[in-house]
Amino acid sequence: MPRLARSLANKFIVRTEDLEKTRAKMEALFNAGQVGLNDIEQDYSGLYLDIFTEFEITIENLFLGLLSGSLYSRKNLIERKAKIQPVSMTRAIVFGDRAYLDWLPYRDKTIERAEVYFVDGKPFTLLTSTQKSNLDEYGIIRNALAHKSDSAKKRFQKLINGLSLLPREKSPTGFLRSRPYSASTQTQYEITVWELIDMIKNLCG
C-alpha cells in the first residue's frame, strides 16, 4: 500500500529534533565550563555531517519511493516518464552498477537524475533558486568539514569572504556556531537545519 511522501519529511524532522537535543546539551555544558571549545566544535562538525547524511538519505528514499510507486504526494503532481517492472528492480536500475549514489551537489546530481525519470523533474525541481543556491553553500561547508583538502578549505574561505565574523568564527565549525544577525538567538547551524526542513517539506508535499 503506497504511503504519503510526507511520512519521510516527518521522519527527517524527528531526526533533526534528536540532533538538536544533543547540540543544546553541549552548549549548556560549554556555558557551564564543563566542556572545552574544541569539544563543542567537534560536536558541531559531527552534527552537521549527520544532518547532511540524513538529508541525502531522505532525498534518495523519496526518489526511489516516488519512482516505484510506494510513495505518493497529495500536493505535488508527480508523473513518471516510465514505470519500472517489477518494482523490486527500481533501485538496481537507478543505481546501475554503483554501490551508492551521490545526491549532492543538488543541481548536478539530484535534478539531473530526476529529469531522466520524472516529467519536468518534479518534485525535485520545485525548490526555489534561493534554496538551490543555499544547498550549494551548505555543501561547501560540509566538504570543508569532511574532506579538509586545500581545495575544500579554499572554497569555504571564498564563501565567508566579506562576512563580518570574529576570528574564531572563520573556521567551518566556528561559522556554524556563529549568529549571523546581531539580535538573533539562532546559530548558523540552526538556521541551516530549519531551511533543510523547509526543503524536505516542499519536496515531500
Cβ(93)–Cβ(68) under 8 Å?
no
Q: How confident is the model at residue 76 (pLDDT cuts 50, 70, 90)?
A: confident
pLDDT in tens, 133-176: 999 999 999 999 998 789 999 999 999 998 999 999 999 999 99
> DSSP per residue over 101-143, as a string?
----STIIIIIHHHHHHBGGGTTTT-S-HHHHHHHHHHHHHHH
Residue 180 predicted with pLDDT over 90: no
pLDDT band at 131; cut points 50, 70, 90: very high
Tell me which long-range contacts 117-121 makes (C-beta under 8 A, separation of at least 24).
117/63, 117/67, 117/80, 117/81, 117/82, 118/66, 118/67, 118/78, 118/79, 118/80, 118/81, 119/79, 119/80, 119/81, 120/79
pLDDT at 182: 65
Q: Which of 14-23, 27-36, 37-46, 176-185 has the lowest mean pLDDT?
A: 176-185
Is 7 a residue whose pLDDT tops 90? Answer: yes
Percentage above 70 pLDDT, the chain: 99
pLDDT at residue 205 is higher than 80: yes
pLDDT band at 123 (very low <50, low <70, confident <90, very high): very high
Mean pLDDT of the residues in the chain:
94
Q: What is the pLDDT of residue 68?
A: 96
Task: Provide the pLDDT for residue 16.
Answer: 97
Mean pLDDT over residues 4-9, rounded? 97
The answer to whether residue 27 scores a pLDDT higher than 90 is yes
User: Is the pLDDT score of 183 beyond 70?
Assistant: no
